[in-house]
Amino acid sequence: MPVKSDATRRWVELDVLLPGTPEQVWQAIATGPGLSAWFTATQVEERVGGAIRFEFGEGMTSAGTVTAWEPPFRFAYEESGWSGQAPPVATECVITSRSGDTCVLRLVHTLFTTDGSWDDELEGFESGWPGFFVILQLYLKRFAGMPAAAARAMAMHPGPDLAAWTDLAGRLGFAGVNVGERWTTPAGVPAMAGTVERVQQDAKSREVTVALDQPGPGIALIGIHGWQSRARVAASVFFYGDRAADTATRFEAELRRWTQENYPDQEGG
C-alpha cells in the first residue's frame, strides 16, 4: 500500500486479522511481555505519558512515550530520534472485535511532515510488519500467555540483496521451500525443524517463517532486507513454554556463533 498524505502528515496503514478476543490481542500488542513474545524485547509503562522502549539487539534501540492507553481497543505511542534527523513517528494500534473470537488490528505509522524524503522509511515500516504479523497470529493461536523467550542474530552481507538471499537460502536449506513443507536445517547449522508457514520474496525483503518443534516449540523468522547497497541478514527465533528461557539462551549462543563464522568481519553479527 503506498504512502498516504494530506496537508500536514504522511502515513502508512496495515490491517491484520488475528485470532483471539480484544483482551487477548491487547495483551499481545500493548504490554511489554506481550510484545516481547512475538516482536522484540519491549518495556511499556502502561499509562498515557508512560515510557516505551524497544531493544532490537546489537545495541539498536528506540524509545518513546505512550500517547493513548484505552484497553482493550486503542494503544498509541510516539518515538523521537528513531532515524537521524527524522521527525517523530506516531504509531497507533486499534483493535476491532469480529465474530467468532477474532479481531482486526489496524496499525498506522504517521510522520507529521509534508517532506516526501522520508517515504522510504515509512515504506520500510510497512514492509517489515507482515512477517511479524504471521508470528503474532501463530502466537495468539498456539502460545498466548505462555512463558516466552527469544534468540536473535544479525549480520551484514556485502549484497546485493538477491545474492545475499541466494547465499543464505543455500546455507540454511531454504532454496525452493514451499508453505506447508517440513524444513530441517542442514548439518553444520544450529538445529531447527518445523513446518514452513510463510515464504516472502519481493523488492523489500526475502524471508521465511517456520513453526518450530525443534529445538523446542516456537516460531522462527529468518531472512534478508536490503540495506543501502548491501543486505542485512537477520534471524528472530521465539520459544515458548516452561523451558523457553533456557532453550533461547543456549540456542542464541549457537546461532550467533554460526552467524559470525559464516558472515565474518561484517558489522551487526
DSSP character string of 65-112: EEEEEETTTEEEEEESSSSTTPPPEEEEEEEEEETTTEEEEEEEEEE-
Whether pTM exceeds 0.95 = no
pLDDT tens-digit readout, 197-220: 999 988 777 999 999 999 999 999
- pLDDT, tens digit (0-9, with 9 covering 90-100), for 229-247: 678 899 999 999 999 999 9
Sign of torsion over alpha carbons 112, 114, 115, 118: positive
Query: What pLDDT score does 84 carry?
Result: 67
Ranges of residues in the chain whose predicted pLDDT is under 70: 1, 83-84, 227-229, 265-269
Q: Tell me what pLDDT residue 237 has.
A: 98
Q: Which domains does the chain have, with CATH numbers?
A: 4-143 (3.30.530.20), 148-262 (3.30.530.20)
pLDDT at residue 222, rounded to an integer: 96
